[in-house]
Structure 1
């Protein structure tokens, strides 16, 4: 039997058996058939290539190997493909939702742990430290990515409901009403304690730490003196910091 005849017989056998095989079984089948025909094929490279559906003529070994690897990759893609009418869930920007990705679920950032497919839609099994749940969607429906963290001037995340202050302000308390995003960046909608109205400001202008002032220092000293619990070391530390800040402003 010649090399070409043996190659044809081996290839036809593999081709018939590989119709419903997975990738690993398909590859092992090729290896097995090649081993069985080793004596007749004399280890010929063209024979092996043909088992992958590549006809080796006058091509270089490199181009032949590229085609063989492409055949394997195509087979993997075909095995992973979903049945007609089904679609892997995607984010709003079109990116695939992969296991291990983070997404927005009921206003929280969750981790995708598993995916289940049904006739009319999908379910993503999500988890985090304090909760777990399933996000359902129809085929074609998009998934939201977690909103990026919005940080204050000290690098602390700002959340709706937080109490914040203006950096270098007089200690007026503001509640975070909303957080939004524009092409130029994030903004924070805040409202003061007297509900005089809301302001939209850049997050870097806010802090969670109450700015100190001589007025606040004096109020705290009076209150501490009334209850007899004056922390002399802390009050002195604050006084020095305020004096330094005042001197710097006067420069």
Structure 2
């Protein structure tokens, strides 16, 4: 058996296996065969891609069709079976490996995806926990709540007690965090009840209770009662309140 005949059989073997191989293995098989035998013509190579060079006007046209054939093969390999859908966020965006999502009220990182007959599962992880989020095809996934910081750079979360930085000492509870036009807004409830709703930009809020002369007086009374008056600290607060023009 001559070299040419042996090469012909190997080449036919490459063609027969190509339909069962992944794209990378398929291309490497073609490259290896061309490199080992050195006997394949460009007509033979084009034929593997389903191209008849005799009907092509230029080599450029033939190469363009080869590239198209490779791209089509990649698309076919990556395509999901009929009825199977990749999970998406509520805004329609695809959930990709490495994306963050909301899982049991926490921000988790997507590490892997598994598909079943009736739905999908996303394997998620973070430093202190891991888990698997299940969903049916067409069911949407929640993105993490927008990360917002108060005036002091402290993260604001739902349930936090915050205050307006303008000196209003009334405690407000964070009820919801929204992103309106890309700008986060914090929805607040006064005194833990729906007595009055507020909506504020996060930089207008603080977790530190603003000082006032009323609070200063209450703290002074308590310090006197327990016999532990911090004269320097109280003086500093008084000067700061006077400078800020705080009313009684």
TM-score, length-scaled by structure 1: 0.78
Q: Distance in 2 between matches of 1:136 and 1:18?
A: 36
Change in Cα spacing, 1:93 to 1:66, as seen in structure 2 (3 Å) is: farther
1:131-168 C-alpha deviation (Å, 9 max, x unpaired): 32211111222212122123333333322221111121
Q: Distance in 2 between matches of 1:64 and 1:145?
A: 46
Residue number in structure 2 paired with 1:101: 99
Question: Is the 1:10–1:34 contact (alpha carbons within 8 Å) kept by the matching residues of 2?
Answer: no
Please state if 1:222 is matched with 2:224.
no
Residue number in structure 1 paired with 2:4: none
Residue number in structure 1 paired with 2:25: 25
1:41-77 C-alpha deviation (Å, 9 max, x unpaired): 4xx555545444455544365x655544443333233
1:48-59 alignment, distance < 5 Å:
48-55=45-52, 57-59=56-58
User: 2:108 aligns to what SS in structure 1?
Assistant: strand
Question: Is the 2:172–2:192 contact (alpha carbons within 8 Å) kept by the matching residues of 1?
Answer: no
Q: Number of paired residues?
A: 238
Question: Is the 2:177–2:184 contact (alpha carbons within 8 Å) kept by the matching residues of 1?
Answer: yes
Change in Cα spacing, 1:236 to 1:161, as seen in structure 2 (3 Å) is: same
* RMSD after superposition: 3.2
Question: Is the 2:146–2:177 contact (alpha carbons within 8 Å) kept by the matching residues of 1?
Answer: no
Residue number in structure 1 paired with 2:170: 172
Unpaired runs of 5+ residues, structure 1, are 1-6
Shift of 1:245: 1.8
Shift of 1:18: 0.4
User: 1:215 aligns to what SS in structure 2?
Assistant: helix
Deviates more, 1:119-128 or 1:7-16: 7-16
Question: Is the 1:10–1:51 contact (alpha carbons within 8 Å) kept by the matching residues of 2?
Answer: no
Q: Distance in 2 between matches of 1:229 and 1:64?
A: 91
Unpaired runs of 5+ residues, structure 2, are 1-6
Residue number in structure 1 paired with 2:150: 152
Q: Distance in 2 between matches of 1:139 and 1:245?
A: 58
Change in Cα spacing, 1:233 to 1:11, as seen in structure 2 (3 Å) is: farther
Q: Distance in 2 between matches of 1:138 and 1:221?
A: 61
